[in-house]
Every structure is written in structure tokens, then in C-alpha cells.
């Protein structure tokens, strides 16, 4: 398969304008004849549904939560980037583009990344108009802070709950359209399959999670804005409901999956405290602006942190990366923490954490200033751990977080299936091999508000004469029959092991062999272990209750069954990329100082994988990356 990214002609800074000038339009009268399904109601899903609804299209919006407001965008804390240069510290659209390309280890498309930086300027104005309460200076101007991987202040924030506030803005816009009747909302519905007619995405099969009923929903185009699959590791910063099933079901229908092994490990999570945990808590990366990260210089240190003198502390990020210090990018900071922990310098009851210390910032700025910037985060830390971070350092640890991989999409955010679009974390497009902090909320928002409304309209302009899509089409009947058969097959196994057992087990396999670091031997072992685990799952999983009613265990089983396939593809992807780049750190490919060793000559491409059946090697397609405007360099933060 030849991958065509459909990047517009012209200079970098004119590509998006050129696209918009030449994009086909649908007149308002014809929009009423066209239906679009949007799966997911986070920032990307809510914003695109609201935008398309405002334009006059008929929208069906789906989420498995009981309210769109519970989409996982609500959990993002630290901020959203925009190259406004309010601090007058040298920021610009081009500098943000360079930071993002470099942060992703030169494994992203130039045109997509520049567009995201360009659209960032409009997003802040849009959010302020929606009432998002961004932090402000004393005089009323919007404030900024820094995030990892940059040397300017471009991150707009609402204390430590930026995702929640941005989501409330998009939620209001969505519910306005629901009230107008242009958007029909289906909460407590889970997409179980994608329906194709003549090779085009024409609808979905969904399950009503309150009744167990299987439903058909038809449309002229389908948008997946369902987030990432980082919960595959079981212990992660993501909510238990987060999953990769929607994009995986689309993958098995022909949509290529790009760069699945690029999973970000976040450096500032609360450490695991026991086997009883089902998730880990994220502490915002914004804390690294004022907090200093260190471990004791003595192995297996037992003294309380405040009694350890300065000369016996190793501020290892400041030591190893003096130019960026505690604001080194997430992949580098996470690996550095793991290295110190594995070397015996970890702290806490399980010796699995490092310190994040605010004593210097409190002394210099005063406790009230720190409360103003991070108060809710400190309160959350106290509630969860029982420790007061104003009086002693926080304990933090790396944890699985964001998936840079996802469905392959072109410049229009359309997958290899015509009419199937993927937005936000559901696609691979903007972050390369490592996402810079505060670019997640940005990508989700600009995809939904500013990009997809143009590109989806361009596609729908050719669908005006198609007529209503009929859910009685045999393709829907076939897909529904296959979904029901799969559900009954799962429920009929009646083994002895819980779904959570399999989720925990595959998560541990991936963390050990396809996590912060990887090697050939471990990845080959992981593939075999996942295949054996999947066979055991299909014989021994236990799902109580029946198919035709509320059944949370059945929901989980379907998602874990997908994880057992996604995990195998992750390992294949990591195994075939004989280099280290961003979140993908192959132990065989590192410098003498232990830094990632990229191989541009052989691996300057996006890996886009095709489904080839269970336990069969997937099919690799390559999208070669061409850098016309920025030359790939050795990624250094020293």
C-alpha cells in the first residue's frame, strides 16, 4: 500500500492556508442531508461534534461514560500550549514547531506539526471566549509557565485542572448543539465495530451499556476521537475505562495502525504503593517548574528527606542536563528516574520513587505563591498519600501515560479507510516518538475546532448525492451478527480467572519488555508470552452475568481481548525499529552516556501496520519522512 499524506504544496507557513483556500465546501442547505458519527466526547470529540453541529450537519455523538463531561480530557492538569509570546521571551510559531519536532525526536511530519503550532494562537482566544478561567497576572493579562523540553513560557493553565476547564468549554458548546437538535447524544454506548459499505466508513455497531441492546447507526462519515491505549499497562495514569478498542476494531477493518510502540511514560506520577491498585495518580508536569528532583547519594537511604543535607543529595537532572535541568522532556526524565531507582537510589516504602522538592521555591517565593500556582495539586497529594508537600518533598515515579501511536491519518486526519477520521490521541499525527507536555490538550482542541471541520467538509462535498445511508444494508447486518457472536463467545467461556488477571498480566509483560526500555530478546519473549496469554484467556476467562443486560465484566473482557492483540503489535513495532528514539529506547542502541541513538538513514519513517490475522506477523508499510524546513540533529538537552 502506498501511503499518501496529501500534504499541500507551498512554503511551510502557507500550507494550511493553501489547503483551506482550495478545500471543497458544502452549502448550508446540503449539510442538513449529511450525517456524521462522532465517537468520543473528550476535547477532540466534543469540539468536532459541536463545530459540525453549528455548521448544520446531523451529528450523532457517542460516549461510554454516563455524561460527556466524564471523558478523560477532564484529567489533564498542567496546561495547554500556544505560541502567543506573552512573556516576550522569544517564542514564535516557528520555535514551537521546532521544539515539537525535536521533542518528538524527528519522527513526525513537518506540515502537521507546523499546523498545530499555527492553530494554537486561535485556541486560546476561543477558550477565553468560552469562559475558561486561565491563570492571570496581577494586571489581568493571561499568565504562562514552562513545560518540559522548551526554554520559553508558552503554557496557559487553570491551576492544575486545565483539562477539566477546557472540557467544560467544549461540553457547553456540545450541549448547545444538543439543545438545538443538530447533535443527538448517545451516552452509555460503546462502539463495538465499524461498518464499511463499498470500502467506505458508513456507520458503527454500538452496545447500549444500560440494557445490553446492540444498535446500528449509519452515517456518511465516522470520526473516532476515543483517546489512547496507555491503559494497556494496567497501572497507568489513565482511568480504568480508557481503552483502545474503537481504533483497534477499525484497524481490523483495514485502517492502518501507526507507531504503536511509542508509549509515553510520564515522569511525575505517584508511585505504586501496593498490588491492590488499579491506577496511578498523575501529578502535573507543571510542578517541575518550581520543584527540584533528586535522590539521596547513598544507596537504600532510610533517613527522612528533610534530614539529608544538600551535599548528600543528587539533583540528577540538573547534573546530567544542565541546559534544561528539571524541565528535561518526559522520555528523558522518566528514563533518568528509572536508572536511579534501578541503581538502588530509589526512595519511599518500596524504594520505587524519587523526590520532587519545593523547599527552595517556597523559601524564595513564599508559600502563598506556591499555593496560588499548585494548591489543588498539593491538596490532592495530601489526600492520597497523607504527606504535606509544603513541609517535605513529594515522592514521584514514572508511569505509563500517553500513546503517541494510533491510527495512521493523512494531512486531512483521514485514515486509510475513506470516510473514517481519527482526532486527538486516537491518531498518531503530531507528536512523533515523544509528546511534549501541554501539547495533548492543544492537539485535541485544534483537531476538533479548527482542522476537522474543514477536512471533513472537503470529504463530504463528494457525498451530497449519495442519499441517506441505510442501516438495513447487509453490511450492517453482517457486522451486528459478528459482534453478537463475539460477545456470546466471550460470555460462554466460563473459566476460572478474572478479566483483571489477564489485564494485569499483559500489563506487566509490556512494562517489563516493551516499557521504558526494550531489547530484542525481551521483545521476542513478550510476543510469545502474549500469544500464550491470549490462548489462556480464550479458554479460562470468567465473565459472570449474561450478554443482554448491564455487564461491566463483559465490557472489560472485550477491551482486554483487544489489548492482547494491541500488545503483540506494540512488540512487533518495537522489534522492527533498530534504533532508539523518543519513548522507544532499545538498549542495543545507545550512546556511551546512555542516551538514545537514532538511525535516520534507516528509520526515518512512520511504521504503519496492517492487520494480518491472529498470531500472524502484521504487515509493515512505511511513510518516509521528508524534512524540507528543519534538519534532523542529535537530540540534546545538555
Nearest Cα residue to 331 out of 239, 401, 231 = 401
Domain range for 288 is 267-400
Residue 508 lies in a domain: yes
Buried (b) or exposed (e) across 78-97, using 16+ Cβ within 10 A? bbbbbbbbbeeeebebbbbb
CA distance 140 to 10: 39
Edge-to-edge order in the sheet of strand 214-218: 189-197, 200-208, 214-218
Angle at 398 (CA atoms; ends 392, 400), nearest 5 degrees: 140
CA distance 257 to 403: 12
Residue 441 lies in a domain: no
Residue for grid cell 494510533: 406
CA distance 360 to 346: 21
Whole-number Cα distances in Å, 283 to 229, 288, 291, 374, 378: 20, 10, 12, 10, 9
Which residue numbers in the chain have pLDDT < 70? Answer: none
Q: Assess whether 271 and 393 both reside in one domain.
A: yes
**What is residue 85's DSSP assignment?**
-
Q: Assess whether 484 and 577 both reside in one domain.
A: yes
CA distance 85 to 90: 7
Residue 586 lies in a domain: yes
Q: Which residues contact 220 (CB under 8 A, 6 or more apart)?
A: 34, 35, 36, 202, 419, 460, 463, 466, 469
pLDDT of residue 211: 95
Residue 518 lies in a domain: yes
Residue 560 lies in a domain: yes
Question: Could you tell me if 252 and 45 are in contact, meaning their C-beta atoms sit under 8 angstroms apart?
Answer: no
pLDDT of residue 282: 94
Buried (b) or exposed (e) across 240-250, using 16+ Cβ within 10 A? ebbbbbbbbbb
Question: What CATH number has the domain bearing residue 571?
Answer: 1.20.58.100
CA distance 278 to 608: 31
CA 147 to chain centre: 17
Domain termination site, one of 400, 435, 452? 400
Edge-to-edge order in the sheet of strand 605-610: 406-407, 257-258, 605-610, 619-624
pLDDT of residue 440: 97
Question: What CATH number has the domain bearing residue 389?
Answer: 3.90.700.10
The one catalytic residue among 69, 249, 330, 577 = 330
pLDDT of residue 555: 97
Encode pLDDT of 77-92 as tens digits.
999 999 999 999 999 9
Q: For 134, what's the count of Cα atoms within 13 Å in the CB-facing half-sphere?
A: 25
Q: Assess whether 482 and 576 both reside in one domain.
A: yes
Q: At residue 483, what are phi and psi to the nearest 5 degrees?
A: -65, -45
pLDDT of residue 275: 84
Residue for grid cell 506494540: 570
Q: At residue 603, what are phi and psi to the nearest 5 degrees?
A: -130, 25
Residue 324 lies in a domain: yes
pLDDT of residue 514: 98
Domain termination site, one of 365, 400, 435? 400
Domain termination site, one of 367, 400, 433? 400
Residue 136 lies in a domain: no
Total structural domains within the chain = 2
Question: Could you tell me if 574 and 586 are in contact, meaning their C-beta atoms sit under 8 angstroms apart?
Answer: yes
Question: Could you tell me if 419 and 220 are in contact, meaning their C-beta atoms sit under 8 angstroms apart?
Answer: yes
End-to-end CA distance of the chain: 41
Residue 505 lies in a domain: yes
Q: What is the pTM assigned to this prediction?
A: 0.97
pLDDT of residue 276: 86
Q: Is 320 a catalytic residue?
A: no
Amino acid at each position: 500500500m502506498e501511503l499518501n499524506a496529501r500534504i499541500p504544496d507551498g512554503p511551510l507557513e502557507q500550507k494550511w492556508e493553501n489547503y483551506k483556500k482550495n478545500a471543497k465546501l458544502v452549502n448550508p442547505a446540503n449539510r442538513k442531508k449529511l450525517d456524521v458519527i462522532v465517537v468520543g466526547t473528550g476535547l477532540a470529540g466534543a469540539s468536532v461534534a459541536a463545530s459540525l453541529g453549528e455548521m448544520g450537519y446531523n451529528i450523532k455523538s457517542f460516549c461510554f461514560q454516563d455524561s460527556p463531561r466524564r471523558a478523560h480530557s477532564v484529567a489533564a492538569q498542567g496546561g495547554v500550549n500556544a505560541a502567543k509570546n506573552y512573556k516576550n521571551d522569544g517564542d514564535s510559531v516557528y520555535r514551537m514547531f521546532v521544539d515539537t519536532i525535536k521533542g518528538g525526536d524527528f519522527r513526525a511530519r513537518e506540515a502537521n506539526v507546523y499546523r498545530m503550532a499555527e492553530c494554537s494562537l486561535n485556541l486560546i482566544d476561543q477558550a477565553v471566549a468560552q469562559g475558561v478561567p486561565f491563570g492571570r497576572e496581577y494586571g489581568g493579562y493571561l499568565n504562562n509557565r514552562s513545560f518540559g523540553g522548551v526554554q520559553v513560557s508558552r503554557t496557559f493553565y487553570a491551576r492544575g485542572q486545565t483539562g477539566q476547564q477546557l472540557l467544560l468549554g467544549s461540553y457547553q458548546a456540545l450541549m448547545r448543539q444538543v439543545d438545538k437538535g443538530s447533535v443527538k447524544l448517545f451516552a452509555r454506548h460503546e462502539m463495538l465495530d465499524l461498518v464499511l459499505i463499498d470500502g467506505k466508513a458508513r456507520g458503527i455497531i454500538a452496545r447500549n451499556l444500560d440494557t445490553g441492546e446492540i444498535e446500528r447507526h449509519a452515517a456518511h462519515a465516522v470520526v473516532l476521537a476515543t483517546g489512547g491505549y496507555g491503559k494497556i499497562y494496567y497501572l497507568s495514569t489513565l482511568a480504568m475505562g480508557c481503552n483502545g478498542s474503537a481504533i483497534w476494531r477499525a484497524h481490523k477493518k483495514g485502517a492502518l495502525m501507526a507507531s504503536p510502540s511509542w508509549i509515553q511514560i510520564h515522569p511525575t506520577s505517584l508511585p505504586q504503593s501496593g498490588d491492590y491498585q488499579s491506577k496511578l495518580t498523575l501529578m502535573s508536569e507543571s510542578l517541575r517548574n518550581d520543584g527540584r528532583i533528586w535522590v539521596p547519594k547513598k544507596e537504600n537511604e532510610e533517613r527522612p528527606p528533610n534530614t539529608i543535607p544538600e551535599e548528600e543529595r543528587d539533583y540528577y537532572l540538573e547534573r546530567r542536563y544542565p541546559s534544561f535541568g528539571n524541565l528535561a522532556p518526559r522520555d528523558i526524565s522518566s528514563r533518568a528516574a528509572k536508572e536511579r531507582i534501578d541503581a538502588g537510589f530509589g526512595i519511599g516504602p518500596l524504594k520505587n520513587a524519587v523526590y520532587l522538592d519545593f523547599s527552595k521555591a517556597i523559601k524564595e517565593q513564599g508559600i502563598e505563591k506556591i499555593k496560588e500556582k499548585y494548591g489543588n495539586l498539593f491538596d490532592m497529594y495530601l489526600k492520597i498519600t497523607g504527606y504535606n508537600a509544603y513541609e517535605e518533598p513529594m515522592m514521584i515515579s514514572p508511569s505509563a501515560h500517553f500513546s503517541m501511536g494510533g491510527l495512521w491519518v493523512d494531512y486531512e486526519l483521514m485514515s486509510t479507510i475513506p470516510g473514517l477520521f481519527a482526532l486527538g490521541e486516537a491518531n498518531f499525527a503530531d507528536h512523533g516518538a515523544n509528546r511534549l507536555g501541554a501539547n495533548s490538550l492543544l492537539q485535541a482542541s485544534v483537531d476538533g475546532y479548527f482542522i476537522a471541520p474543514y477536512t471533513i467538509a472537503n470529504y463530504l462535498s463528494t457525498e451530497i448525492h449519495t442519499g441517506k445511508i441505510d442501516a438495513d444494508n447487509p453490511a450492517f447486518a453482517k457486522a451486528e451478527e459478528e459482534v453478537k457472536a463475539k460477545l456470546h463467545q466471550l460470555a460462554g467461556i466460563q473459566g476460572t480467572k478474572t478479566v483483571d488477571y489477564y489485564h494485569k498480566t499483559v500489563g506487566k509483560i509490556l512494562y517489563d519488555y516493551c516499557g521504558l526500555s526494550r531489547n530484542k530478546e525481551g521483545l521476542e519473549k513478550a510476543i510469545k508470552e502474549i500469544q500464550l496469554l491470549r490462548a489462556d484467556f480464550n479458554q479460562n476467562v470468567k465473565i459472570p452475568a449474561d450478554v443482554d443486560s448491564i455487564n461491566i465484566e463483559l465490557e472489560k473482557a472485550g477491551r482486554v481481548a483487544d489489548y492482547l492483540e494491541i500488545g503483540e503489535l506494540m512488540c512487533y513495532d518495537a522489534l522492527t525499529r533498530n534504533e532508539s528514539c523518543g519513548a522507544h529506547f532499545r538498549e542495543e542502541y545507545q550512546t556511551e552516556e546512555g542516551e538514545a541513538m537514532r538511525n535516520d538513514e534507516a528509520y526515518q519513517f512512520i511504521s504503519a501496520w496492517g492487520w494480518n490475522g491472529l498470531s500472524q506477523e502484521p504487515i509493515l508499510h512505511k511513510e518516509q519522512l521528508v524534512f524540507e524546513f528543519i534538519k534532523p540533529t542529535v537530540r540534546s538537552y545538555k
